[in-house]
Amino acid sequence: MAEIILYTLTLALVQIWLLPMAINIKSMTYLLSNRDEELQTSPLSQRVARASTNLQESLPAFLALSLLAMIAEADVTTAAITWLGLRVAYLACYSFGIPVLRSGIWAASIVAMICMALQIA
């Protein structure tokens, strides 16, 4: 389970910091500034930012469930890997502007966390 948590934190690092930086590399001066003014960003950058916000909303629940599973010695590996895979797919769908599939993937990721919770209880 610890490996899955590390993979999840790697996804968070990529999605929250590395991907936005890579997309906005030509705005490095802005990124290194005090950011007193808003930067005009591309639709891709805006979608990645919204996907990042969504990950940040569900990440605490996933991490809490993962830690509870470790404490309870419950095997939630399949559900946790499923959640992680769905979050990667969610990022891809959101980044490329695929709305309906994205929403289905999001719902499935919530179901994966519910499965984790049920396996712990």
- 31 pLDDT above the threshold of 80: no
| Domain locations in the chain as residue ranges | 2-22+43-120
pTM: 0.90
Cα 5 versus chain centre, distance? 12
Check if the beta carbon of residue 20 is closer than 8 Å to that of residue 30: no
Tens digit of each residue's pLDDT (9 = 90 or more) over 37-96? 777 889 999 999 999 999 999 999 999 999 999 999 999 999 999 999 999 999 999 999
Q: DSSP string of 9-64?
A: HHHHHIIIIIHHHHHTGGGHHHHTS---SPPP--HHHHHHHHHHHHHHHHHHHHHH
